[in-house]
Structure 1
Amino acid sequence: MIKRMVIMLLATGAVFGGLYWFQNFKAGIIQQVMAGMANPAQTVSTAVADVTDWQDEIEAVGSLRAANGADLALEVSGIVQNISFNSGDAVEQGQTLLQLNATEDNAKLVSLEATLDNYNITLQRDLAQLNVKAVSQATVDTDRANVKNAQALVDQQKAVVEQKTLKAPFAGRLGIRSVDLGQYLTAGTTVVTLQSLDPIYVDFYLPQQDVSRLKVGQDVTTTIDAYPGKTFTGQISAINPKVDSTSRNVQVRATLKNADGSLLPGMFARVKVATGAVQQLVTVPQTAIVYNPYGDSVFIVDKDKGNREHDSVRQVFVKTGSVRGDFVAVTDGVKSGDNVVIAGQLKLRGGTPVIVDNSHVPTSQNAPEIKDQ
């Protein structure tokens, strides 16, 4: 009997012990689940902060302008008699491009030249007679005046004839001609455009506070949308000595080499002017910076796991410098080698566990370009 009671007591103790252990186990599970729900691991993307050569830049937009450019036209009207160029030709300075009908003007010039020749003969004859006192000095003076007057009329008529000939005022490349043979051309009508393309200018405007950082001869780099991935280099050739009183901007001109003529006047240009000395600075992608009114910060992934299941992050305040492409210089708060979060910061706070997934992170570039898909 006693033995049976002992067995029953032991069985009852085992049951109650099992129930107590189960309650503690369940409570522990619930506590772990609740803790996980309160601070679940977040998926983020990261990048490593690195030290790079960094030079401050001033960025601006501008447009290309030919060193010499003009829409060529004639001062007088007439019928086009001869065209000596094709659209797109490269021409030299002084090359004849177009001739109007000048038959009547040339005939008048021949007549005036004949009159001049006659006055010259008369002058020479009277000079010989003056030596033997056959004519007076007044006669010779009149002959000289006649010669000068006839010469002036000849020069005037030559200018009239010259006005009916269009010549290239400088070397360059012609555009598309807008006249045809036999066409009646009124004075001032554009015949063709002529542009001198090498070198070529890029004109742009900068705020007045940047004037102290500019000087003639400073290097500039230019990119053109028409030539993605290609950079054109040049130097500042002129800085306007006057600041625009309305915009408070100053005009700057840089000169670019353009031997192949690929750059054309009127093209839109993006210009970068390098200023200051090259520095060694820590840089991170711009997306790593969390901008707030109380200060900018970044999240750094702590790789020292210890007994933790996931990596965690800590938030640090930073001081940022200038921006270049996808990168920003960090002057304080981040050191080289730090693993900074560049995507997924919205749900983070200090100590949040994270899962790093860099499988879909785009490549950051110093000079990013927009590509058509």
Structure 2
Amino acid sequence: MKDSIVMSKPARPVKRTIIMLLIVVLILGMVFGWGALRAVFIAKFLKGFANQVQTVATIQAQETPWQPAIQSVGTVTAINGASLSAEVGGIVDTIHFESGQDVQKGDVLLTLRANNDPAVLAQLQAQAKLDEINYARDLKQFAANAVAQSTVDTDRANLAAAQAQVAAQQASMDEKIVRAPFSGRLGIRQVNLGQYLQPGTAIVTLEQLSPLFVDFYLPQQALVALKVGQVVNLKIDAYPGQTFPAKIAAIGATVDSATRSIAVRAVLQNDDLRLRPGMFASVSVETGAPKEAVTLPQTAIAYSSYGDTVYVVKHGQGNALVADQVFVTLGATRGDQVQILDGVKPGDEVVTAGQVKLHNGSPVAVNNTIQPSNDPNPNPPNE
């Protein structure tokens, strides 16, 4: 009897284990079931979202006149420009100009104190005059055979030496007078009366403001399209919306081995004196005659490493509008526009806004109330 009681005791742990296994199986079933159910709901939601009609803005692709041009950036420089200084040292005696003044070539701008230079010049001139009298008298005496040829030769040499000393003294005095080497506009005065100037000390800058040079660089591939006299259009940040015409005056003789670019210089007329040397310029060099090209706003292009694309709106089943993704080949850009070389034909309706939420075949609704900018010559505010 005791043995039978002892043998029946292990039944309770086995039963407890079975119950625990059933509970675990039930929990796992609920977890995996909920995951599967959630996947079904997500797939259903995404399917419905994918087929949701997306509102986009569109534009009809069309051909417009396109002027082929090469773009670059350049710097406005003066044809003649210099920082003026005295050749010798001295104390500033007189100043004959004001800052920003227009001057003519040869105008006296500044003089240094002469000290005893005029007295030395007068002494040398007197000696030269005496030597000239002696030479003239001895010439007459030589004609009468009253003096030797050597005396006349000595007089001639003395006169030449005296005249050379006068010229040297006059040149030394001229070095103390600073004149305008060319016509132009002065900058800001850098010296004052009574100031001692070392040789080479900057006094004022002088710039010839018309005409001006525009220096810029173009890639070596553009060399075949360049020639002297070619039209160049400039845009200056200080004058938004305005274009300044220039003409190519010189093309560099060599190509830079580091950048593989060539230097180009154009001449710009500046009769109204609005432009200044040192200004930054956006340069556009016209190459060839204008031609027709398909253009789109740059906002219509989806750029990626595997290719550039646009969405073209077409009629699908039931005449519904759908977006068709198309690969395009791009050309040059101008302002807000980009040239389309291949992929879009005139008359195609292309999405210009809202393409981020599209995929190939997405149903769309067109709303062109607001359109992105499509200006070939935009004028952004200069703030």
Scaled by the length of structure 1, the TM-score of the pair is 0.86
- Does 1:315 find its partner at 2:325? yes
Q: Tell me the CA shift for residue 306 of structure 1.
A: 8.1
Q: After the TM superposition, which of the residue ranges 150-159 and 355-364 deviates more from structure 2?
A: 355-364
Q: Deviations over 1:280-310 (max 9, x none)?
A: 11111112122344433321223x58844x5
CA distance, structure 1, for counterparts of residue 207 and residue 50 of structure 2: 70
Matched to 1:169, the amino acid is P
The one of 195, 218, 234 equivalent to 1:206 is 218
Whether 2:326 is the aligned partner of 1:326: answer no
1:183 maps to: 195
Aligned to 1:259: 271
SS across alignment from 2:259: coil
Query: In the TM superposition, what is the alpha-carbon distance from 1:168 to its structure 2 partner?
Result: 0.7
Task: Give the letter aligned to residue 259 of structure 2.
Answer: S
**Is residue 109 of structure 1 aligned with residue 113 of structure 2?**
no
Runs of at least 5 residues in structure 2 that lack an aligned partner in the other structure: 1-44
Structure 2: distance between partners of 1:34 and 1:225: 49
Deviations 1:310-369 (A, max 9, x none): 532223332222111211111223222322101111222333221222333232222334
- Supply the AA of the counterpart residue of 2:94: N
Letter in 2 for 1:315: Q
Of 167, 185, 207, 1:173 maps to 185
From 70, 91, 104, the counterpart of 1:79: 91
2:110 aligned partner: 98
Structure 1 Cα separation of the partners of residues 73 and 240 of structure 2: 16
Partner of 1:14: none
| Per-residue deviation, residues 40-75 of structure 1 (Å, max 9, x unmatched) | 110111122121111222111121110010000011
- Partner Cα distance (2:167, 2:148) in 1: 29
Task: Tell me which residue corresponds to 1:370.
Answer: 380
- Say which SS state the counterpart of residue 55 (structure 2) adopts: strand
Measured in 2, the distance between the counterparts of 1:154 and 1:91 equals 30
- The 10-residue stretch of structure 1 (238-247 or 34-43) with the greater mean CA deviation from structure 2: 34-43
SS in 2 for 1:115: helix
- Which has the larger displacement, 199-208 or 167-176? 199-208
**Structure 1 position 48 matched with structure 2 position 55:** no
Partners in 2 of 1:188 and 1:293 — Cα distance?
Answer: 58
- What SS class does the counterpart of residue 116 from structure 2 fall into? helix
**1:269-288 alignment to 2 at 5 Å?**
269-288=281-300
Secondary structure of 2:257's counterpart equals coil
Instruction: Please tell me whether the aligned partners of residues 63 and 292 of structure 2 are also in contact (alpha carbons under 8 angstroms).
Output: yes
Structure 1 Cα separation of the partners of residues 135 and 338 of structure 2: 86
Q: Match for residue 76 of structure 2?
A: 64
State the SS of the aligned residue for 1:330. strand
Q: Match for 1:354: what amino acid? A: V
Q: Distance in 2 between matches of 1:38 and 1:87?
A: 71
Q: Percent identity?
A: 51
Find 2:150's aligned residue among 121, 133, 138: 138
What is the rounded CA distance, in whole Å, between the counterparts of 2:83 and 2:125 in structure 1?
A: 34
Name the CA distance, whole Å, in 1 between partners of 2:349 and 2:269.
43
Letter paired with 2:92: V
Partner SS, residue 192 of structure 1: strand
**After the TM superposition, which residues 20-31 of structure 1 pair with which residues of structure 2 at under 5 Å, given as runs?**
none
**Counterpart secondary structure, 1:64:** strand
Q: Deviations over 1:67-103 (max 9, x none)?
A: 0100000110111111111111111111111111114
Which residue in the other structure is 1:4 paired with? Answer: none
Label 1:358 to 1:129 Cα distance change in 2 as closer, same or farther (>3 A).
Answer: same
CA distance, structure 1, for counterparts of residue 155 and residue 357 of structure 2: 105
1:119 aligned residue: 131
The CA distance in 2 between the partners of 1:369 and 1:152, in whole Å, is: 66
Q: What TM-score comes out, normalization by structure 2 length?
A: 0.84
1:372 CA drift (Å): 5.0
Aligned to 1:195: 207
Q: Look up the match of 1:154.
A: 166
Over the aligned positions, Cα root-mean-square deviation in angstroms equals 2.1
1:357 match: 367
Q: For residues 84 and 378 of structure 2, what CA distance do their matches in structure 1 show?
A: 41
Q: Distance in 1 between matches of 2:46 and 2:154?
A: 123
Which has the higher mean CA deviation after the structures are superposed, 288-297 or 121-130? 288-297
Describe the shift of the 1:350–1:144 C-alpha distance in structure 2 as closer, same or farther (beyond 3 A): same
Q: 1:233 to 1:34 in 2, by over 3 A?
A: closer
Return 161-170 or 134-143, whichever deviates more: 134-143
Match of 1:344 in 2: 354
